[in-house]
Chain A
Amino acid sequence: MIREQSEFLVTIGACATAGGIQALRNWADVEEFTRYVYANPEYISTLQRSTPVADHVAVDFELRGCPIAKTQLLELVNAFIHGRRPNIPSYSVCVECKRRGIPCVMVAQGIPCLGPVTQAGCNALCPAYDRGCYGCFGPMESPNVLSLAEWWVSLGVDDRTLVNALRSFNGYAEPFREASDVYARD
């Protein structure tokens, strides 16, 4: 109904673009979740799966992030008002680190980081705070997640931690989802 009435439909945030952290139910049984949390599960009505809006209707633009970046929202609105393509890059967080002159936390400190496969948008926030990226903006364009996964393994990360790191706020986005499924199988 919203799609029918809209000239442009933009999804905002990881829940709308990827199903969010709620998508963890997609790898589990939501009925079991309901029984675990609620004394009277029969009062509760909820969806079996949490999926991106784009799985259901045509979406003109996806603004990534958990949370989104304020500046990107302004850029988006500005772009639509002026009828131009939003200047929102889909390269990785690595570019933002390099631009800020932050030494790579993986190389320099051995801290596992999802930056190489995560879309830019936060301005390399976590590496700036001596922390590895945990994927708030979802997969970059054409990420090589399996290759990064192997680097994580060589840094000593166990499979369970790796799967959990991929299955996070954007876990259901295809590149993260598929790579997590590979390591969950093993």
Chain B
Amino acid sequence: MSTPETEPRRISVDYLARVEGEGNMKVEVRDGKVEIVEFGIFEPPRFYEAFLRGRRFSDAPDITARICGICPVAYQMSSAHAMESIFGAKVEGQLRELRRLLYCGEWIESHVLHVFMLHLPDFLGYQSAIHMAADHREAVERALRLKKAGNDVMILLGGREIHPINVQVGGFYRVPTKKELESLVPNLEWALEAAKWAVEFTGGLPFPAIEQDFEFVSISHPDEYPLNEGRIVSSRGIEADVSEFNGIFEEIHVERSNALQSKVRERGAYHVGPLARYNLNFGKLTPACRQAAASAGLGEVCGNPFQSIVVRSVETMYAVEEALRIIDAYEEPAQPAVALEVKAGEGHGATEAPRGMLYHRYRVDDEGWITDAQIAPPTAQNQLSIEEDLRVVLEDNLDLPDEELQWRLEQSIRNYDPCISCATHFLKLEIDRG
């Protein structure tokens, strides 16, 4: 006698909320066994790599910034570094510090946006930040002011917070005076206290117990918590120059996603972002940050993606401290940018966007016109990890009713602070150009 087939249990979300961009999720369980786990990206393709061809190298920071309104600086930095590597230009000293400062501003505004507006509603049981604000007004107002502290750094140093105008290959167009930067200090000092509170507050949230054994990947630098410069490292032994990105990772195009998925060659999924940076660079955080992390219940290594909200808060605190340090030590440089020797070649840049390692590669001709472009955003790289998380969370929570299980799965995606518009243009490696 044959066993009757049970109806499979399907949970799908056609349009994920509280993530940037357009994505969906579909899971299917049959007879207690997880059959399908899919994180899909249907954000329309954006083709940035294609239309960067034929444009001048100097267009790259301005055009690629438009890939993302939350993390434009990341694109400006990765593209600038890639071009500078072609020309052998070194942006050092105070200009290098100013770049870190601008990036700190972005980390603050991006992380705070996610922690409080996109992620916290999940932990407190609200559908949205607006619903949450009604009951938690003070916390939300504090978060908005903290976010604004990051925005103000970007406005002063970058010109504006969305698509800053002051970044160019080689440096800036205009550098601030010491007095201009010092005007940011009072608010940043307030922000430091607010960030400490954020670490404490998020540390006290309830977290599902899940330990994931990811291969964490980030850039790493001997002297500092990574932002613009470093070598690619991983928790499973990768240690390489940024230029070796394509030798280490490969991209795959699957039907359910307009963003190419990414894996370590011969291995599999990997995880970039705050958790990866934290795990691989814990010792480079400031003593105050390490202390705050410990008080909030984080070890030196964290494998629970749900605790990423605490890690993001720790990184926010780091960014505020780093901003204050840079401003304190600032001496206005003589020139806003270094001279460039334009020549043909191929260059690579990998910097740490708020959501993780962002890789750019360009080829330019001897007059500096771009002939080839490749952009690997962190969220695209995280797709396979997101699906692995969904599988684990699903398997652990099959006993929950559908509605609750669905929310848990969506929250699982939101742990990654996905930036789906960024993920959706991505150059494949092995192209058959016929």
Contact = CB atoms under 8 A, between A and B. Distances in A.
Nearest to A21: B66
A164 interface: yes
Given A36-B431, A37-B426, A67 B255 contact: no
Given A67-B163, A129-B174, A164 B56 contact: yes
Interface in A160-176: 160-161, 164, 168-169
Contact of B51 (A25, A34, A40): A25
Interface string B409-434: 00000000000000001111011000
Nearest to B369: A160
Contact of B255 (A30, A43, A160): A43
B159 interface: yes
Contact of B159 (A43, A46, A66, A129): A129
A44 B47 CA distance: 11
A24 B166 contact: no
B45 A34 contact: yes
Contacts of B174: 129-131
Interface string A30-58: 10111111111001101000000000000
A168 B55 CA distance: 10
Contacts of A122: 160
Interface in B27-54: 44-47, 49-51, 54
Interface string B235-279: 000000000000000001111001010000000000000000000
B312 to A, nearest CB: 24
A138 to B, nearest CB: 14
A32 B431 CA distance: 12
Interface residues of A, number: 35
B173 A129 contact: yes
A125 B55 CA distance: 23
B181 interface: no
Contacts, number: 88
Interface in B327-372: 336, 369
Interface in B375-411: none
A180 to B, nearest CB: 13
A63 to B, nearest CB: 14
Given A25-B47, A66-B66, A126 B159 contact: yes
Nearest to A164: B55
A168 B369 CA distance: 16
Given A37-B49, A38-B428, A125-B159, A131 B173 contact: yes
Summarize B's interface: helix, strand, loop or mixed: loop
Interface in A76-112: none
Interface residues of B, number: 37
A136 B427 CA distance: 27
B322 interface: no
B371 to A, nearest CB: 12
Given A21-B63, A46-B44, A28 B51 contact: yes
A134 interface: yes
Contacts of B254: 43
Interface string A14-28: 000000111011001
Given A34-B45, A164-B55, A43 B165 contact: no
Given A67-B69, A129-B166, A39 B428 contact: yes
Q: Pick from A24, A136, A160, A161 the residue with the most CB of B within 10 Å.
A: A24
A105 to B, nearest CB: 10
Contacts of B139: none
B62 interface: yes
Given A36-B431, A66-B66, A67-B163, A30 B47 contact: yes
Contacts of B133: none
A186 B250 CA distance: 42
Contacts of B430: 39
A129 B69 CA distance: 21
Contact of A37 (B45, B55, B163): B45
B34 to A, nearest CB: 24
A129 B165 contact: yes
Contacts of B55: 164
A30 B45 CA distance: 11
Contacts of B54: 164
B427 A37 contact: yes
Contacts of A129: 159, 165-166, 173-174
Nearest to B430: A39
18 contacts: A36-B431, A37-B426, A37-B427, A37-B428, A38-B45, A39-B431, A40-B253, A43-B255, A44-B258, A67-B162, A67-B163, A122-B160, A129-B165, A130-B336, A131-B166, A131-B173, A160-B369, A164-B59
A-B residue pairs, 3 tightest by C-beta: A33-B50, A39-B253, A24-B51
Given A67-B162, A129-B165, 19 more contacts: A20-B66, A21-B66, A24-B51, A25-B51, A33-B51, A37-B47, A37-B426, A37-B427, A38-B253, A39-B430, A39-B431, A43-B255, A43-B258, A46-B44, A46-B45, A125-B160, A128-B159, A129-B173, A131-B166
Interface of B: 44-47, 49-51, 54-56, 59, 62-63, 66, 69, 159-160, 162-163, 165-166, 173-174, 252-255, 258, 260, 336, 369, 425-428, 430-431
